[in-house]
Structure 1
Amino acid sequence: ITVKEAAVYGSMALVLAVAVSLLAGLESLAIILLAIIVGMLYNAKIKKFGIYGNLCVALSTAFPFIYGAVVALRSFWAVPIRCWMFFAMAFLATWSREIIKGIVDVEGDRRVGIKTLPIVLGEKASAKIALIIMLSAIVLSLVAIPFVLNQVNYVFIVFIADILLLYSVFSTLQNPTRQTARRAKNMALIGMSVGLAAFIAGGV
Structure 2
Amino acid sequence: MGLAATARGLLELTRPVNTVAAGALTFIGAFVAGGAFDESAATAAAVGATWLATGAGMAINDYFDREIDAINAPERPIPRGAVSPRGALAFSVALFVGAIVLAALLPLLALAIAAVNLVGLVTYTTYFKGLPGAGNALVAYLVGSTFLFGAAAVGDPLAGGVLAVLAALSTFTREVIKDVEDVAGDREEGLNTLPIAIGSRRALGLGAVLLVVAVAASPVPYYLGTFGVWYLVVVVPADALMLVAAYRSFEDPTAGQQLLKAGTFVAAAAFVVGRLTVA
Give the TM-score of the pair, scaled to structure 1. 0.88
Deviations 1:48-105 (A, max 9, x none): 22421111111111111000001012xxxx423x521110011100001111222212
Q: Note if contact 2:131-2:194 (Cα within 8 Å) is conserved in structure 1.
A: no
Q: Which residue of 2 aligns with 1:79?
A: 157
One-letter identity of the residue aligned with 1:199: F
- Mapping for residues 184-199 of structure 1, pairs under 5 Å: 184-199=256-271
Deviations 1:17-68 (A, max 9, x none): 1121111122211111100001111122211224211111111111110000
Q: Confirm or deny that 1:25 pairs with 2:107.
A: yes
Gaps of 5+ in 2: 1-82
Deviations 1:133-186 (A, max 9, x none): 0011112212222235442321111111100000011223xxx34xx1110011
**What is the root-mean-square deviation in Å for CA atoms of aligned residues?**
1.7
2:122 to 22, 34, 40: 40
Q: Note if contact 2:231-2:274 (Cα within 8 Å) is conserved in structure 1.
A: yes
Q: Which residue of 1 aligns with 2:19?
A: none
Return closer, same or farther for 1:7/1:111 CA change in 2, 3 Å cut-off. closer
Normalized per residue, the structure richer in helix is 1
State the aligned residue count.
194
Q: Note if contact 1:161-1:194 (Cα within 8 Å) is conserved in structure 2.
A: yes
Gaps of 5+ in 1: none
Q: Which residue of 1 aligns with 2:213?
A: 136
Give the TM-score of the pair, scaled to structure 2. 0.65
- Could you tell me how far apart the structure 1 residues matched to 2:225 and 2:273 are? 9
